[in-house]
Amino acid sequence: MSKVRDFILLYVNGQRHEVRGPEVFQNLSSYLRYSRGITGTKVVCAEGDCGACTVMVARAHTKPQAPAPPEYESLNSCIAPVFLLDNCSIVTVEGLGDSAGLSEIQDSMVRNFGGQCGFCTPGFVMSLANLYEHPQDVTPQKVKNHLTGNLCRCTGYTPIIQAALDVDPAKHRPLALRYPTNPLMKLVTESADKEVRIISEGQSLYAPISLGQACRYKAENPDTRIFSSATDLGVQINKGKIQMRKAMSLQLIPELFRCERVGQKVHIGAKVSLTSVQNFLGPLVPAFAEFLNIFASPQIKNVATLVGNLANASPIADTIPPLMTLDTQIILAGVGGTRTVPIDKFFLGYKKLDLRPDEIIQALEFQIPDLDRTRMGFYKTSQRRDLDISCINAGFSLEIENGQIKSARIAYGGVAPTTIRLAHIEKALVGRAFKKAELLHFARQISSSIQPISDVRGSAEFRREMAARLFEKFIIENSGAEA
């Protein structure tokens, strides 16, 4: 029988709080604004798309690898339930300055006219704090990458970029120095054997400390929902599409944070954030890591997981085409042990998974591709290039041997109820010479073999033709010298 904790432990701007009762199930932004009365953190879209609610968070967890003090990263507080901030130190815009006045980042924003109406400003300031938390050469491109998740309607961003570049690093003090996270680590280690159970007003939270417990609970409570990082569930709750009743959090299970190379394979646990995945895959599957640059925002990627994107099973999930072209294996943990399902068998229909009532996705594994003979390309089309849900996305991977295609994998999202592989095209490509003239005409077969629909992100006709065009783009970009 494990020991039980009945509160969520967090720090806000250095002050310790034990959160109990209904506040556990609130959004962090509501908790900050209405329970703690600090209103600098703003809410605009309540769906993680504008960044006005950005705060910095250091998360302590019992890592399977060598423990190190947690580092501060940004997240969207409007879609994060308080219980997911267990064992976290949170810094809001109110925590940046000190008795001497504004922080250097804030002062630079003042100097450079970084705010106009001011409503987005706290979020931008926090994203800049994220940029400057780790020492690095700050370039305009890095600034933009760190501000992908923040919308401003007044300034045209130009003065904010200027403010970011004008920060004097010598005057900047990282949050890790101002709000040390060591005490947090100590607490986490001390309470590593305590699961969390909280029940309040028809809502409950269970945070087990082992996968076995989690599977048993899921089997016994078919109405439970796993909240991994809530970057999608949080949106649905805010929009009234689902109600939060019985929540389970997996964040106290150390093995789910495993992210490592095992021989020629990679293993990515269910709780590994997309930011970590992106860093990890950089040298191993560069095309995938680069593609993640135009996926979501830092605030989302710092908490959202690769497994979460997969489990959400959206037909336009941007990571699924790459995972399909990598022949990813999905490891499912159940009460009776684990089983492995190949990714193209995992999606049974629209948002329907091959997942039994007791099963939880534990990890993903795939072979590291041989970069010398594999051509990979991942594409998406959206109304706006950055931080936009795809209209259509695609993944291509061709294994080339002696100028011929040895194997091919083609996956499309946004053209069917699930992401699909085009097996007949793949088959037809095998044995062909890797030359533009040999391959481009397959584009027409691609567009004639899909039946997309029209919706808010694009018409069926656009999707059909764009599917062909993305294939052509891949071929042209990769076979330039071999035309």
Partner 1 sequence: MTSTPHESARSHVSGEAEYIDDRPFTHGELHVGLVLSPVARGSLNAVHFEAAAKVPGVAGIFTAKDIAHNMWGSIFADQPFLVEREILYAGEVIAVIAAESVHALEAARRLVQLDISPVEPILTLDQAIARREFIGPERHIERGKVDEALKAAPHRLKGTLEIAGQDHFYLESQACVVYPREDRQLEIHSSSQHPSEVQHLVAHALGLKFHQVVCVVKRMGGAFGGKESQAAPFAVYASLVASRLNRPARLILSKDDDMRITGKRNPFKNFYEVGFDNKGKILALKANLYSDGGAYADLSTAIMERAMLHTDNAYFIPNFSVSGQVCRTHTAPNTAFRGFGGPKGVVTIESIIEDIAAQLKLDPLDVRQANVYAEGQTTPYGQTIDDAVLPDLFAKLRRSAEYDQRRQEIEQHNQESSSTYRGLSMTAVKFGISFTTRFLNQGSALVNIHLDGTIQVSTGATEMGQGVNTKIAQVVADAFSIPVSDVRVMPTSTEKNANTSATAASSGADINGQAALNACLNLRTELAKVAQEVLKRSPDSRGRKAAAAGTVGEIAIDGLPEAQNIVFKSGHVFDYRKPDQRLKFADLVNEAYLNRIPLSASGFFRYPGIFFNKETGQGKPFFYFTNGVALSEVSADRLTGEIKVLRADVLMDLGRPLNHGIDQGQVTGGFIQGMGWLTTENLFYDKGVLLSCSPSTYKIPSVHDVPREFNCSLLENPRNDRNLRGSKTAGEPPLLLAISVWTAIKNALTFARKGVSPNLGVPATQEKVFFQLPRGDDGGLHEETL
Q: Does 312 bind partner 1 (CB under 8 A)?
A: no
Closest separation between CB of residue 166 and partner 1, Å? Answer: 13
Give, as ranges, the residues between 175 and 214 that touch partner 1 (CB under 8 A). Answer: none
Q: Does 321 bind partner 1 (CB under 8 A)?
A: no
Give, as ranges, the residues between 112 and 151 that touch partner 1 (CB under 8 A). Answer: 112-122, 125, 143-144, 147-148, 150-151
Distances (CA, A) of 25 to 60, 248, 477: 20, 12, 48
- State the sign of the Cα–Cα–Cα–Cα dihedral 106, 109, 113, 119: negative
Going by the DSSP 8-state scheme, the letter that residue 8 receives in this structure is E
Stretch near partner 1 under the rule CB under 8 A, chosen from 253-261, 298-306, 404-412, 450-458: 450-458
Q: Which two three-digit tokens encode residue 314?
A: 């959206």
Q: Which helix (H) or strand (E) holds 249?
A: none
Q: Of 61, 421, 433, nearest to 249 (Cα)?
A: 61
Residue 262: Cβ-neighbour burial (10 angstroms; 0-12, 13-18, 19+)? exposed
Q: Of 373, 372, 430, nearest to 401 (Cα)?
A: 373
Closest separation between CB of residue 270 and partner 1, Å? Answer: 24
Contacting residue, 77, 106, 229, 231, with partner 1 by CB under 8 A:
106
Q: Which is nearer to partner 1, 45 or 226 (by Cβ)?
A: 45
Q: Does 229 bind partner 1 (CB under 8 A)?
A: no
Give, as ranges, the residues between 408 and 447 that touch partner 1 (CB under 8 A). Answer: 436, 440-441, 443-444, 447
Q: Of 437, 449, 383, nearest to 410 (Cα)?
A: 449
Q: Does 289 bind partner 1 (CB under 8 A)?
A: no
Stretch near partner 1 under the rule CB under 8 A, chosen from 92-100, 253-261, 311-319, 366-374: 92-100
Going by DSSP bridges, is the β-strand pair 8-12/88-91 parallel, antiparallel, or unpaired?
A: parallel
The whole-angstrom separation of Cα 16 and Cα 10 is 6
Q: Does 462 bind partner 1 (CB under 8 A)?
A: yes
Closest separation between CB of residue 79 and partner 1, Å? Answer: 11
The whole-angstrom separation of Cα 128 and Cα 112 is 14
Q: Does 78 bind partner 1 (CB under 8 A)?
A: no
Site map (CB under 8 A) of partner 1, residues 46-75, x = contact: xx-xx-x-----------------------
Give, as ranges, the residues between 356 and 395 that touch partner 1 (CB under 8 A). Answer: 381-389
Longest dimension (CA), the chain: 70
3-state secondary structure of 211: helix
Q: Does 340 bind partner 1 (CB under 8 A)?
A: no
Q: Does 37 bind partner 1 (CB under 8 A)?
A: yes
Q: Which is nearer to partner 1, 156 or 283 (by Cβ)?
A: 156
